[in-house]
Amino acid sequence: MANRIEQVFQELHRSGRKALMPFLTAGDPDLATTAALIREMVSRGASLIELGLPYSDPVADGPTIQASYTRALDAHTTLDGIFAMVRELRRDCHAPISAMGSFSLVTRRGMDRFLDDAQAAGIDGLIVPDLPLEECDAMAAGAARRGLSHIMLVAPTSPWERAARIARQSTGFLYYVSVTGITGERKDLPADIVRHVERLRQETKAPVCVGFGISRPEHVRQVTAVADGAIVGSAIVRRIGDMAGRPTAEVVRCVGDYVAELVAALP
């Protein structure tokens, strides 16, 4: 049976639509605000949510997301708290949620316990950017047994043979990193995104989504002209950080307005 990620992409494909996938850090500034932001973004048209699991040594994350992880950890955010928040959210929010976090978080808890807890909470997919292809079999198999997607990343610098293997291994969707380097807002995106995404499509039946550097409606239009979805993170996280100390309702409304602007750019 298809999980929520697969179901959403099937529905989008049938209707000829594309996905906007916002990213936010769990617990920044607190878990209650995270839950409110997820509900708001879904109500404004987001198809899926990517939820960052804060960690003291971020992987591939630029200063904006690193700072959000620090804020979340300073607020005493824990994995147990995140899972409890998602479990409560599932009472009324059914949008797919993929969790992105370091493999250290998995090994510290124990892989089986981590996967069991993620499944029980209502997480639909896992993105572990520091788990290499050569070492991912156990994680992929454990996720599959629990109906969780194991979402993998392909960088533009990946040798083609390796990129193709990653594309065939990824489930739920394939995450194509649009730029080399770390996360963060960019003025322009590389012109070769179309070529790379079209080539990856020949290697996988999974949807292909593009992230890193996407922050403007024109970026969303550019990548979804060929990809199945656009992932937007740092621009959202920056807005949350810039509004530190403001009323939660104001933060939620600001982020919701921005997400609605990006959704309007989808084809």
Structure tokens that stand for 11 in this block: 């529905």
pLDDT of res. 58: 62
Mean pLDDT throughout 31-44? 98
Tell me phi and psi for residue 23, to 5 degrees: -110, 140
> Domain locations in the chain?
19-263
For 247-266, give the DSSP string: -HHHHHHHHHHHHHHHHTT-
Mean pLDDT throughout 233-238? 94
Per-residue model confidence as pLDDT tens digits over 145-187: 999 999 999 998 889 999 999 999 999 999 999 765 444 344 4
For 157, other C-beta atoms within 10 Å of its C-beta total 9
| Residue keyed to tokens 């029980």 | 120
Among 24, 21, 79, smallest CA distance to 251 is for: 24
Reduced to 3 states, what is the DSSP secondary structure of residue 69? helix
Q: Where are the alpha helices (DSSP H) in 132-226?
A: 137-145, 160-169, 193-201, 217-224
135 catalytic? Reply is: no
pLDDT of res. 156: 87
Which of 6, 28, 40, 50 is the catalytic position? Answer: 50
198 catalytic? Reply is: no
Name the CATH superfamily housing domain 19-263: Aldolase class I (3.20.20.70)
- pTM beyond 0.85, yes or no: yes
Among 204, 230, 173, 202, smallest CA distance to 2 is for: 173
Which of 6, 40, 61, 203 is the catalytic position? Answer: 61
Among 68, 82, 87, 1, smallest CA distance to 28 is for: 68
The least confident of 16-20, 58-62, 169-173, 231-235 is 58-62
The least confident of 52-66, 107-121, 203-217, 230-244 is 52-66
